[in-house]
């Protein structure tokens, strides 16, 4: 995976019988786009493969605006709107959302978010990140108790739902 990532950004989905959190985190941090634990259904695998290909195509096009449900993120203008109303986000809230949006549909590990937003000294402050994500959900979700945009990957990290403007 490391050698492949050194020269290619082709989507990679890991299929494994190993379900340990450490193994998932390690492979996602090495560059895997998704991790599926056996047994799995063929429909699920095909859906994940289609989503990975959509993200790959979107990444190549360098889109500056993405829409997920009622949320629109305009990277060029640094503007986030929900149902047409501009949201007031702190710089760190915007940065977390930006990182997740740049990897929409992919899992971003707790450690990566903490490192990129708060620095290496905070890579183990996952409790703080959970509180922070809860506050961000209150701003971007229609119902923060039932998130549809900012999704939790238990024990690993967070993922932003796949944008609506990406066709299969």
Residue 22 sits at the vertex; the CA angle it makes with 21 and 27, to the nearest 5 degrees, is: 100
**Pairwise CA distance, residues 117 & 59, whole Å:** 21
> What per-residue confidence (pLDDT) applies to 167?
38
Sign of the torsion formed by the C-alpha atoms of 86, 87, 92 and 98: negative
> What per-residue confidence (pLDDT) applies to 166?
44
> What per-residue confidence (pLDDT) applies to 146?
95
Q: Which residues of the chain have pLDDT under 70?
A: 5-8, 57-63, 164-168
> What per-residue confidence (pLDDT) applies to 165?
47
User: Is the distance from CB of 156 to CB of 110 less than 8 angstroms?
Assistant: yes
Residue 151 sits at the vertex; the CA angle it makes with 168 and 153, to the nearest 5 degrees, is: 105
């Amino acid at each position: 995976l490391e050698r492949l990532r050194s020269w290619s950004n082709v989507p990679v989905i890991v299929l494994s019988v190993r379900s340990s959190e450490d193994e998932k985190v390690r492979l996602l941090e090495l560059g895997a786009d998704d991790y599926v634990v056996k047994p799995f259904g063929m429909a699920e695998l095909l859906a994940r493969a289609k989503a990975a290909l959509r993200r790959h195509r979107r990444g190549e096009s360098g889109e500056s605006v993405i829409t997920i449900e009622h949320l629109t993120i305009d990277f060029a203008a640094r503007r986030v709107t929900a149902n047409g109303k501009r949201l007031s986000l702190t710089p760190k809230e915007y940065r977390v959302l930006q990182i997740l949006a740049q990897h929409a549909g992919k899992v971003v590990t707790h450690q990566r978010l903490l490192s990129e937003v708060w620095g290496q000294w905070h890579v183990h402050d996952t409790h703080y990140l959970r509180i922070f994500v809860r506050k961000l959900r209150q701003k971007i979700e229609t119902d923060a108790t039932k998130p549809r945009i900012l999704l939790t990957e238990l024990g690993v990290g967070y993922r932003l739902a796949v944008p609506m403007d990406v066709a299969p």
